[in-house]
Amino acid sequence: MRRRKRRQSRSKRIATLIVLSAIAISLGIATIVSYAGGTFSGTAFVATTLSLMAVFTITAIVLSTPTVKGKIGEARVSRRLKKLAKKNGGQVFDNVIIPGENDKTSQIDHIYVCNYGVFVVETKNYAGRIYGNDNQKYWKQVLAYGHSKNELYNPVKQNITHIIRLKEIIKMDISPISVIVFVKANTDFIESDYVYRISDLKYLLNDMEKTLDDNAVENICTTITEYKLNPVKTDKEHIQEIKQMKQDIDNNICPRCGGELVLRKGTNGSFYGCSNYPKCKFTKKA
């Protein structure tokens, strides 16, 4: 608890420092600009200060949007993986879209292929403390000392789906390794061997054995490269697909098979299940 508090006040200090630096830089440049004609121009000083402040504010707002934050997080993970590849060989692929079930697609954040295996990496940008284990369907995110709680779909389960899809396109008898990276959340309360903090990625290959020969690595890389060059769907189409899926779920249509989601009573309370059960096991919360 103490450690958390200190960490938070440090990030607050860093934020204050950044804001003060932005103000100082703005005033400094404004001073230089306003002396450009040889004499001091008050109008130029005010105009430059205001426009620089606006630029800094807009940049800060853009950088704090979830999409941009997500992209920054993914770029950081990609850099770490590429460092590993530089040292240990192999290749890193970012944002790979492959076929999923029923004409849907699966989007994999990163795949690292090397002699040590095929690492399927899912990046998560959540903040706060995360609670969960391999078996739970949903994990919990706790923010602001417990004042705010959210649920997220268990990323270990999410990545299992990615691995199944990837195996289908690789068509080799291999067992891809699941890696979930939390870029900034506190992962101390997660019970899973698949979860890494970004700073621990450098230990990813520790105690690992080489299981793939160069030929296998090359074949797998060729297959993934083909999907990168001729994507089954573009990023935009994949995002549209996810939106459609959410809409279907809201309208009680099963996103997996198109069946109807019907209210059922279970031992742990009511829930919506697919009308095609037991063939389809999709459920949503009541």
User: If binding is defined by CB under 5 A, does position 254 make contact with Zn ion?
Assistant: yes
What tokens does 170 get? Answer: 């690789």
Q: Which of 257, 264, 272, 284 binds Zn ion (CB under 5 A)?
A: 257
In the complex, minimum distance from the CB of residue 81 to Zn ion, in angstroms, rounded to a whole number? 35
Which region, judged by CB under 5 A, interacts with Zn ion, from 2-10, 68-76, 138-146, 271-279? Answer: 271-279
User: If binding is defined by CB under 5 A, does position 166 make contact with Zn ion?
Assistant: no
The beta-strand segments (E) located in the chain are 91-99, 105-114, 117-124, 129-133, 138-143, 148-153, 177-182, 190-191, 195-197, 261-266, 269-274, 283-285
In the complex, minimum distance from the CB of residue 277 to Zn ion, in angstroms, rounded to a whole number? 8
User: If binding is defined by CB under 5 A, does position 272 make contact with Zn ion?
Assistant: no
Is the preceding peptide bond at 255 cis, omega within 30 degrees of 0?
Answer: no
In the complex, minimum distance from the CB of residue 200 to Zn ion, in angstroms, rounded to a whole number? 37
Q: Which of 104, 280, 283, 284 binds Zn ion (CB under 5 A)?
A: 280
What tokens does 20 get? Answer: 């003060």
Which region, judged by CB under 5 A, interacts with Zn ion, from 44-52, 54-62, 181-189, 272-280? Answer: 272-280
Question: How many whole angstroms separate alpha carbon 42 and alpha carbon 244?
Answer: 55
In the complex, minimum distance from the CB of residue 276 to Zn ion, in angstroms, rounded to a whole number? 5
User: If binding is defined by CB under 5 A, does position 245 make contact with Zn ion?
Assistant: no
Which region, judged by CB under 5 A, interacts with Zn ion, from 95-103, 156-164, 205-213, 275-283? Answer: 275-283
Q: x/- binding map, residues 200-239, to Zn ion, per CB under 5 A?
A: ----------------------------------------
Question: How many whole angstroms separate alpha carbon 60 and alpha carbon 58?
Answer: 5
User: If binding is defined by CB under 5 A, does position 284 make contact with Zn ion?
Assistant: no
Among all chains, which residue has been given the structure tokens 């590993």?
Answer: 84
User: If binding is defined by CB under 5 A, does position 273 make contact with Zn ion?
Assistant: no
Could you tell me the CA-to-CA distances from 34 to 45, 46, 93, 210 in Å, in that order?
5, 9, 49, 63
Could you tell me the CA-to-CA distances from 26 to 59, 61, 178 in Å, in that order?
14, 18, 46
Would you say 198 or 280 has its CB closer to Zn ion? 280
CA-nearest of 277, 219, 280, 285 to 249 is: 285
User: If binding is defined by CB under 5 A, does position 73 make contact with Zn ion?
Assistant: no
Question: How many whole angstroms separate alpha carbon 187 and alpha carbon 149?
Answer: 15
Residues 6+ apart with CB under 8 A from 182: 124, 126, 130, 195, 196, 197, 198
In the complex, minimum distance from the CB of residue 253 to Zn ion, in angstroms, rounded to a whole number? 9
Would you say 41 or 276 has its CB closer to Zn ion? 276
Instruction: Give the three-state DSSP class for 108.
Output: strand
User: If binding is defined by CB under 5 A, does position 256 make contact with Zn ion?
Assistant: yes
Q: Which of 111, 113, 118, 274 binds Zn ion (CB under 5 A)?
A: 274
The residues of the shown chain that bind Zn ion, judged by CB under 5 A, are: 254, 256-257, 259, 274, 276, 280, 282
